[in-house]
Structures are given as C-alpha cells and as structure tokens.
C-alpha cells in the first residue's frame, strides 16, 4: 500500500470530511495529511490529492509525478506548477456536469420568464404582464463547450432553445451552432439573447468579456457567469448594465470572493448575486472519480487526461 498525501486549504471540518470519504473510497492507498508524513516518507510520495493547496505545502514532495485536484477550476494550481515537471489532473465528474447543467437551465428559465422584472414589480406593487418569450425564440449561447459546457448545451437543446457555443476547437453537438475564433465570437454574440459563460480562467480568457465584446450583444441581452469572475471585466459590465445595454446579469463568481459587504453589486437591481454555488463538488461522486483515476494509474502507469499547462486548462 502506497502513501498519498491529501493537501487541503479548506477549513478543517471540510478537510476531515474529504479525508474520511477519500479513505473509504480509495482503500488500496494510504491517504495521509501533511502532518502525518516525515521528510523521508515525503520523498517517496508520487501522487497528491489536493483541494486549494498552499503552493508551499506542495513543494515538500520533491518526487510528485501528478496531482489530482478535487476542483474542476485549476487556474491557481496551473500557475503554481507551471515550471515543474508535475502533471495536473482536474476533477471531471459527470455529477458535477449535471449539477452545472441544471443551474444553467434554472437561471436561463429565471431570465427567460423575467423573474428579476417581476420581483421588482412586486416591490413596487405593480400589476403588469410582460410578453412571454417561447424557448424556441430565445437564443442562448454558451462560452466554453468542455465538460460543463457540453452538459449544459445538451440540457438547453432539450428545451428547444436556439443554442450556440464558442470554443477553441470546433464542436459537433446535435442542434448546436459551433463558433470559434474572434470572428466566430463576434458573430455569436450578435445573435445572443442570453449569454452563459463557462470558460476557464486562463491568460487568454482573463477579462475577455470587456466593453468591446459585451457591446456586441444585442441591446437588452442578459448574462450568466458561472465559471470565473475575472473572465469578465466587471467595470465594463457595470457600465453596460447602467446604460441598459445588458438588461440583467446572474453572477455566481466574482474577481474577489466572497463579495465584499461594501460592494455596490449587492444592491444593483440588475444583478442577481449567487455565492459561488452553481456547481458545488459532490464529495462522494468526486471521491469515486479520484479513486478510479488513481487505481487505473497504479494498474497501467498511465496518468489520466491532464491539464495542458500552456493552454491553462
């Protein structure tokens, strides 16, 4: 039985919960916390399971071959290991993808059925029926068509939306228009009523959605950001909301989390704030994915599909 280190930056109760579930699920390995490992044992460790680890904690294991992240978003880890010969495997869990797809559908329906507008009307005791838009008339575009994006696209097509996606490489999903490159993005944005962002945060996507691109959306378009706050230039978004070019934004992620109590975003009637909850990791299904990946590596010596450090995702 080999030792595996579990390094977590999460609060202690979550750390204990993860440890218990990982031990229960991956019985063929001895999963230890950093404080249970001495210097000579550390040298023999080839795999780390991590959740938001402190980069200094990782440096204590000089012979790590690969790291399994318990999160799907790995921008910080990519930066931490970019000059090291360590492979990074991120969480690709069908349950997580399903949860995200449900969130995308829920908040698309929230915007389609004008819930923010009716909520404001209720505060003003206003009885006013707004036109109902059929899903077949609504153009929903998803930025990113990876694990979470493709599950969301599949969910959206089931409800007959006019669905498009933008990704680095072309996609062939039934009932989905696939766009690439900057021309493809501009074309897609010009034909979008609800834009859903599921792009990872990388050097290429940081503040990708600024004034120039967001202005390509038709007036009155709505936005959902479920990936990372910094993919959007927040001040550009706030200006476009103030001018009503963008009618409403559902934001689950922010450049600084948690959102400061003093942030004006809290009181912006054109923003729905969510506390980074669109797709929380399910510890049990995630632990199974991690256990399968590690067992398969022990059997074959093949590292599971890993992050392209140069691309950043």
Catalytic center residues: 228, 276
Nearer to ligand NAP, 25 or 278 (CB): 278
Give the length of the chain.
313
Window contacting ligand NAP (CB under 6 A); options: 62-70, 113-121, 194-202, 237-245: 194-202
Q: Which of 53, 144, 229, 304 binds ligand NAP (CB under 6 A)?
A: 144
Q: What strands, in cross-sheet order, belong to the sheet with 66-69?
A: 29-32, 2-8, 47-51, 66-69, 87-89
From the list 144, 118, 143, the residue with the least C-alpha distance to 131 is 118
Q: For residue 50, which phi and psi values (nearest 5 degrees)? A: -135, 150
Q: What strands, in cross-sheet order, belong to the sheet with 246-251?
A: 176-179, 162-166, 139-143, 194-197, 221-225, 246-251, 271-273
Q: Does 78 bind ligand NAP (CB under 6 A)?
A: no
Residues 250-279 close enough to bind ligand NAP by CB under 6 A = 252-253, 276, 278-279
Q: Tokens for 54?
A: 């402190």
Q: Does 6 bind ligand NAP (CB under 6 A)?
A: no
Q: How far is the CB of 234 from ligand NAP (least distance, A)?
A: 16
Nearer to ligand NAP, 168 or 245 (CB): 168
Q: How far is the CB of 165 from ligand NAP (least distance, A)?
A: 8
Q: Which of 4, 50, 198, 271 binds ligand NAP (CB under 6 A)?
A: 198
Cis peptide before 175 (omega within 30 of 0): no
User: What does the alpha-carbon distance between residue 303 and residue 136 come to, in Å, rounded to a whole number?
Assistant: 43
Q: How far is the CB of 195 from ligand NAP (least distance, A)?
A: 14
3-state secondary structure of 192: coil
Q: For residue 200, which phi and psi values (nearest 5 degrees)? A: -70, 155
Nearer to ligand NAP, 28 or 204 (CB): 204
Q: Does 226 bind ligand NAP (CB under 6 A)?
A: yes
Q: Tokens for 75?
A: 């921008």
Q: What is the CA radius of gyration of the chain?
A: 21
Q: Does 213 bind ligand NAP (CB under 6 A)?
A: no
Nearer to ligand NAP, 37 or 149 (CB): 149
Q: Does 68 bind ligand NAP (CB under 6 A)?
A: no
Residue environment code for 139-156, b if the CB has 16+ CB neighbours within 10 A, otherwise e: bbbbbbbbbbbbbbbbbb
Q: For residue 214, which phi and psi values (nearest 5 degrees)? A: -65, -30
What does the per-residue mask of binding to ligand NAP show for 154-173, with x meaning CB under 6 A? ------------xxxx----
Query: Which residues make up the interface to ligand NAP (CB under 6 A)?
Result: 72-73, 144-149, 166-169, 198-202, 204-205, 226-228, 252-253, 276, 278-279, 313
């Amino acid at each position: 039985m080999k030792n595996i280190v579990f390094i977590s930056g999460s609060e202690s109760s979550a750390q204990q919960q993860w440890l218990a579930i990982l031990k229960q699920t991956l019985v063929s390995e001895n999963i230890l916390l950093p404080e249970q490992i001495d210097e000579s044992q550390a040298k023999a460790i080839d795999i780390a399971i991590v959740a938001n680890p402190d980069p200094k904690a990782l440096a204590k294991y000089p012979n790590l071959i690969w790291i399994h992240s318990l999160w799907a978003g790995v921008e910080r880890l990519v930066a931490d290991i970019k000059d090291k010969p360590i492979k990074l495997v991120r969480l690709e869990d069908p349950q997580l993808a399903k949860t995200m797809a449900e969130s995308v559908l829920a908040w698309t329906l929230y915007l389609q059925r004008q819930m923010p507008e009716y909520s404001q009307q209720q505060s003003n005791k206003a009885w006013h029926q707004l036109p109902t838009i059929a899903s077949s008339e609504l153009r929903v575009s998803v930025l990113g068509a990876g694990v979470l994006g493709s599950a969301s696209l599949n969910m959206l097509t089931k409800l007959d939306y006019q669905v498009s996606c933008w990704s680095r490489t072309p996609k062939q999903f039934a009932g989905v228009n696939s766009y690439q490159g900057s021309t493809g993005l501009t074309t897609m944005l010009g034909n979008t009523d609800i834009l859903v962002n599921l792009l990872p945060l990388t050097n290429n996507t940081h503040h990708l959605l600024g004034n120039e691109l967001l202005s390509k959306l038709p007036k009155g378009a709505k936005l959902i950001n479920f990936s990372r706050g910094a993919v959007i230039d927040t001040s550009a978004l706030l200006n476009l909301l103030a001018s009503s070019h963008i009618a409403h934004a559902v934001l689950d992620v922010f450049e600084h989390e948690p959102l400061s109590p003093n942030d004006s975003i809290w009181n912006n009637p054109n923003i729905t704030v969510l506390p980074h909850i669109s797709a929380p990791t399910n510890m049990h299904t995630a632990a199974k994915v991690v256990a399968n990946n590690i067992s398969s590596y022990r059997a074959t010596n093949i590292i599971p599909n890993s992050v392209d450090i140069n691309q950043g995702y």
